[in-house]
Amino acid sequence: MIAALRRTPAALMVVTLAVGLAACWSTGTLFGVLAPLGALFLYARGYWLLPLWIGLLIAFAASALVALLYPGAIRDAALSLGAFVAVAACIGLLLWSDPSRSGRWPAAAQRREPGQQDGLGPVSEHSAIHPDDRPAIAQAAAYAFWTGVPQVTSYRLRQPDGSYHWTELRAEPGYGVSVDVDAMVSRPDDRWTVAESLGATVEAVKAAKVIESLHGKAWAFDAMGKFTYVTPAAQVAIDMALEDLNRRLGEREFIDGGEAGWMRGVHPDDVDRAASTLRHCLKTGEPWNIEYRMLRATGQYVWHRISARPTRDDEGRITGWFGTSIDIDVYKKTEAALRAREQHLEQLIDTVPAMIWSMTGAGHPVYLNRRMMEVTGATTETVTAPDGSLTLKKMIHPDFLDLAERTFAKSVMTGVPYAIKYLQRRADGSYRWTETRAEALRDEAGKIIRWYGVSVDIHDLITTQTELHLRKQELTRLVDLVPSFLWRLTPAGAPNFFNRRFIDFLGLDEGNHEQSQTEQYAAALKAALHPDDAGRVWAELHDCLNSGRPFAMRYRLRRHDGVYRWMDGRAEPLLDEDGSIIQWHGLSHDIDDQLRVEDALRESEQSLRQLVETLPALIYCAAPNGDPIYRSEKLREFLGFGLGDKDEDGSTRLAGTLEAIIHPDDLPDVKERYGRSLATGSPYAMKHRLRRADGAFRWVETRTAPMRNVEGEIVQWNGICFEIEDQVRAQEALTLTQERLARAAQAASLAELSASIAHEVNQPLAAVVANSHACQRWLTSDPPNLERAQKTVERIIRDANSAADVVGRVRALFRQTVEARSLCQLDTILYEARDLMSEEATRRRIRIEINVEAGLPPLALDRIQIQQVLVNLIRNGMEAMESAQRGALHIQTMRSGAFVRTEVRDMGEGIGAPDKVFEPFFSTKSNGMGMGLAISRTIVEAHGGRLWAENNEDGGATFLFTLPVEAKADHDR
Partner 1 sequence: MIMDRSLSRRPIPLPVQRQAEAKQPLVIIVDDDASVQEALSELMLSAGFEAVSFSSTQALLETDALDWPGCLILDVRMPGSSGLDLQRHLTTTGNPKPIIFLTGHGDIPMTVQAMKAGAVDFLTKPVRDQTLLDAVNAAIGLDAARRAEAAKIKGYVERLQTLTPREREIMHEVTRGRLNKQIAFDLGISEVTVKLHRGNLMRKMEVASIGELIRAWEALPVRMRETNAA
Beta-strand (E) ranges in 328-475? 355-360, 365-368, 418-425, 431-442, 448-457
The residue among 692 and 788 lying less far from partner 1, judged by its C-beta, is: 788
**Are 223 and 313 in contact, with CB atoms under 8 Å apart?**
no
When the beta carbons of 761 and 881 are compared against partner 1, the nearer one is: 761
Closest separation between CB of residue 785 and partner 1, Å? 8
Q: Which is nearer to partner 1, 810 or 859 (CB)?
A: 810
Total binding residues for partner 1 by CB under 8 A?
A: 28
Nearer to partner 1, 760 or 970 (CB): 760
Alpha-carbon dihedral of residues 104, 109, 111, 116, nearest 10 degrees? -70
What is the greatest pairwise CA distance in the chain? Answer: 233
438 or 803: whose CB is closer to partner 1? 803
| Nearer Cβ to partner 1 (167/771) | 771
Contacts of 432 (CB under 8 A, 6+ apart): 423, 424, 426, 457, 459
Where in 117-176 is the site for partner 1 (CB under 8 A)?
Answer: none
Helix axes 9-27, 73-96, angle to 10 degrees: 170
Cβ-based neighbour number of residue 935 at 10 Å? 24
Smallest separation, CB 796 to partner 1 (Å)? 8
Q: How far is the CB of 871 from partner 1 (least distance, A)?
A: 23
CB-nearer residue toward partner 1: 126 or 791 = 791
Q: Is 925 in the site for partner 1 (CB under 8 A)?
A: no
Under the binding rule (CB under 8 A), the answer on residue 80 touching partner 1 is no
Q: Which region among 295-303, 356-364, 787-795, 836-844 touches partner 1 (by CB under 8 A)?
A: 787-795
Within 10 angstroms of residue 504's Cβ, the number of other Cβ atoms is 14
End-to-end Cα distance, the chain: 187
List the interface residues with partner 1, window 216-275 (CB under 8 A).
none
CB of 121 or CB of 764, closer to partner 1: 764
In whole angstroms, the minimum distance from the beta carbon of 801 to partner 1 comes to 11
Q: Smallest distance from the beta carbon of 752 to partner 1, in angstroms? A: 13
Choice between 792 and 872, CB closer to partner 1: 792
| CB nearer to partner 1: pick between 474 and 794 | 794
Burial class of residue 728, CB neighbours in 10 A (0-12, 13-18, 19+) = middle
Residue 348 has a CB neighbour count (10 Å cut-off) of 12
Q: How far apart are CA 421 and CA 404, in angstroms?
A: 9
The residue (of 18 and 755) whose beta carbon lies closer to partner 1 is 755
Q: Which of 585, 795, 815, 863 binds partner 1 (CB under 8 A)?
A: 795
- Rounded to whole angstroms, the Cα distance separating 176 from 264 reads 30
Residues 802, 825, 892, 923: which binds partner 1 (CB under 8 A)? Answer: 802
Q: Which of 788, 765, 763, 766 is nearest to 777 (CA)?
A: 788
Distances (CA, A) of 96 to 46, 116, 122: 10, 16, 14
What is each CA distance from 717 to 628, 674, 679, 682, in whole angstroms? 9, 11, 12, 11
In the complex, least distance from residue 792 CB atom to partner 1, rounded to whole angstroms: 6
Q: Which is nearer to partner 1, 537 or 810 (CB)?
A: 810
- Which CB sits closer to partner 1, 8 or 762? 762
Which H helix or E strand runs over 899? strand 899-905
Min separation Cβ 774 and partner 1, Å: 4
Task: Classify 430 as helix, strand or coil.
Answer: coil
- 658 within 8 A of 721, measured Cβ to Cβ: no
Whether residue 667 contacts residue 690, with contact meaning beta carbons closer than 8 Å, is answered with no
CA distances from residue 865 to 830, 870, 888, 900, 949 in whole angstroms, order as listed: 12, 9, 24, 16, 19
| Three-state secondary structure of 114-170 | CCCCCCCCCHHHHHHECHHHHHHHHHHHHHHHHHCCCEEEEEEEECCCCCEEEEEEE
Cβ nearer to partner 1, comparing 289 with 785: 785
Nearer to partner 1, 666 or 799 (CB): 799
- Interface with partner 1, residue 734, by CB under 8 A: no
- Interaction between residue 785 and partner 1 (CB under 8 A): yes
d(CA 330, CA 303): 8
Q: Which of 364, 370, 788, 811 binds partner 1 (CB under 8 A)?
A: 788
Give the nearest distance from C-beta 919 to partner 1 in angstroms: 19
Site track 432-461 with partner 1 (rule: CB under 8 A), x = hit: ------------------------------
Least CB distance to partner 1 at residue 784 (A): 11
Angle at which helix 49-69 crosses helix 73-96, to 10 degrees, equals 160
For residues 824 and 820, give the distance between their C-alpha atoms in angstroms, rounded to a whole number: 12
Find the shortest distance in angstroms from Cβ 755 to partner 1.
7
Q: Is residue 677 near partner 1 by the rule CB under 8 A? A: no
Minimum CB separation of residue 799 from partner 1 in Å reads 5
Q: Give the closest residue to 579 by CA, choosing from 603, 555, 548.
A: 548
> Which x/- pattern, by CB under 8 A, does the window 609-648 give for partner 1?
----------------------------------------
Between 743 and 782, how does the x/- string for binding to partner 1 read (CB under 8 A)? ------------x--xx--xxxxxxxxxx-xxxxxx--x-
Q: Looking at 145-153, 215-223, 792-800, 909-917, which segment touches partner 1 (CB under 8 A)?
A: 792-800
Q: Which stretch binds partner 1 (CB under 8 A): 59-67, 528-536, 554-562, 785-793?
A: 785-793
Cβ within 8 Å of residue 516, ≥6 positions away: none
Q: How far is the CB of 750 from partner 1 (least distance, A)?
A: 16
Count of residues making up the chain = 973
Under rule CB under 8 A, which residues in 699-728 are in contact with partner 1? none
CB of 876 vs partner 1, minimal distance in Å: 21
Distance, CA of 704 to chain centre: 46
Closest distance of CB 809 from partner 1, Å: 16
**CA angle, 146 as apex, 142 and 147 as ends, to 5°?**
110
Q: Which is nearer to partner 1, 172 or 760 (CB)?
A: 760
Least distance in Å: CB of 763 to partner 1? 5
Q: Do residues 559 and 527 lie in contact, with contact meaning Cβ atoms separated by under 8 Å? A: no
Q: Rank residues 194 and 775 by Cβ distance to partner 1 and give the closer one.
A: 775
Cα separation, 916 vs 920, whole angstroms: 9
Q: How far is the CB of 928 from partner 1 (least distance, A)?
A: 12
> Of the candidates 799, 862, 906, 941, which one interacts with partner 1 according to CB under 8 A?
799
> How far lies 827's CA from each of 723, 728, 876, in Å?
41, 33, 20
The neighbouring-strand residues paired with 721 are 618, 702
333 binds partner 1 (CB under 8 A): no
Interface region with partner 1, contact rule CB under 8 A, candidates 134-142, 194-202, 783-791, 907-915: 783-791
Part in contact with partner 1 (CB under 8 A); list of ranges 375-383, 549-557, 794-802, 876-884: 794-802
Closest approach, Cβ 835 to partner 1, in A, equals 30
**Closest by Cα among 480, 553, 478, 492 to 522:** 492
CB of 840 to partner 1, least distance (A): 21
The 8-class DSSP code of residue 858 comes to P
Contact 285, 313 (CB under 8 A): no
Q: Which is nearer to partner 1, 23 or 761 (CB)?
A: 761
Write out the residues near partner 1 by the rule CB under 8 A: 755, 758-759, 762-771, 773-778, 781, 785, 788, 791-792, 795, 798-799, 802
